[in-house]
Amino acid sequence: MSRARAVPLSVSFDAYSDDLDSECFKYVRENLHRCKHLHLDAPAHMISSLMSGSFPHLETVRLLNRYKEQTLALEGVSLSSSAPRIRLVYLKGISPDVNVKSFNWSCVTELILDVTGVALVPCMAIIAECTSLHILRLIMESLREEDAKPWFDDKDGPRPRYEKLHTLEVKAWHSYGDFSVFIWWLLLPALRRLKLSGCFMLYPYLLEMIPRDGCMLEELLVDLDAPEPFATEEEHLLKLFESLSELRSLELIGGIPDAFRTDIAKRLTFKPGHPRNDYLLPKVESMKIYGLRGWASYWDIQRMLESRSELVSEGAPVTRLKCAEIKTCGHSQKHQWNLNADGHIYHKGCHIEFDGVRAFVPACEPQPPSDEDEVAPSILAVTPHPPSEMDLR
């Protein structure tokens, strides 16, 4: 560093001790004013002691509190004017009384917050200040009801609007309740990629937010970790799919065991001569769905995959499905489909019986009903009383 004193630096400092008098620590502190990219993985008190002075070149800063026993308050840190070029901020392990005014948040275009539930209120305050965001990633661990109540009591005020935010990723593990109200709280007209992991419900907040904001999602991932499913009613899942006309990639990892049924599978199936408005997810190219409980039969899903993967016409109202993975586990049958990039569909399945399992051999394909006919139950449909959900992952 000493040989190129005029050149901006990229500094990554991992503190394996909390000695403020170490030679390495002193050397980093003396050269921080030259940093363009700064990554500090250290105890909270060391981070706070380093973040002072002028940072004219600083564009990205990652402050990772190393020990859970400590929290990062950023007390005395004020980079609002001393770091005018900051665009990316990553904070991990902030305290409930963190200094919200520590950065000029209006300049930040990418924000990553990795926090515990006790810091929910300042976390939301920081997000509300970041009016120029393009990317927001939030990791919220162990949110308790008493931590959430102050924010829920005050969330009826003006909601932040993000005209340029195109990517939102939220992980809310071990939350006491539905965290989708946070997504609903934001106004996201430019949103294209939405990834949710943890405690989320489809109804009512997410179902309302997508059409309300007019966001044209291209990628959706929901990885559920909650006692309740993401969607229980077929009509809710149907409305969600109807609002995703621009979606290219879909991943639903659990959460819709009973909602994905024959009518939805039928509207995902390509039929020559039908207009674009008849189809769900007309532009989807990649699909991964786990944890279905068998309300859509073997033939429902097989037909859908075959019809969407064999498209050759560029003028078709739907896009060719390039890859897919679907897993179902009903009362009497268990299936897994894999559609590879080469267009081949691989299936394995079994019958679940009292004394074990036996290989699944599909019966003759039933004649698909005409569009005017009511959809009749498939001869391979499972019992209408599925047992508790089985984890296929």
Residue 2: the pLDDT is 54
Residue 389: the pLDDT is 37
Give the H or E element holding residue 289.
Answer: strand 286-292
Tokens 């586990």, located at residue: 329
What letter represents residue 320's amino acid? R
- Which phi and psi angles does 146 have, rounded to 5°? -65, -25
Residue 37: the pLDDT is 94
What letter represents residue 341's amino acid? A
Q: Would you state the structure tokens that stand for residue 63, as one six-digit string?
A: 């402050």
C-alpha–C-alpha distance, residues 58 and 31, integer Å: 12
Q: Which DSSP symbol is given to 51?
A: S
Residue 366: the pLDDT is 66
Q: How many CA atoms lie within 13 A of 241 on its CB side?
A: 29
C-alpha–C-alpha distance, residues 305 and 268, integer Å: 9
Chain CA centroid to CA 232, Å? 20
Q: Over its length of 393 residues, how does the chain's per-residue pLDDT go in tens digits?
A: 555 566 788 988 888 767 666 778 788 888 888 899 999 998 888 888 888 778 889 999 999 998 877 788 988 888 877 888 999 999 999 999 999 988 999 999 999 999 999 999 999 999 999 999 999 999 998 888 898 888 887 766 678 899 999 999 999 988 888 889 899 999 999 999 999 999 888 888 999 999 999 999 999 999 987 777 888 889 999 999 999 999 999 999 988 889 999 999 999 999 988 888 899 999 999 999 999 988 999 999 999 999 999 887 677 899 999 999 999 998 888 999 999 999 999 999 998 887 878 888 777 666 655 554 444 333 333 333 333 333 333
Tokens 């926090």, located at residue: 115
Domain ranges of the chain: 1-91
Q: How many residues does the chain have?
A: 393
Tokens 């992980």, located at residue: 171
Backbone conformation region of residue 131, classed left if phi is above 0, alpha if psi is from -120 to 50, else beta: alpha
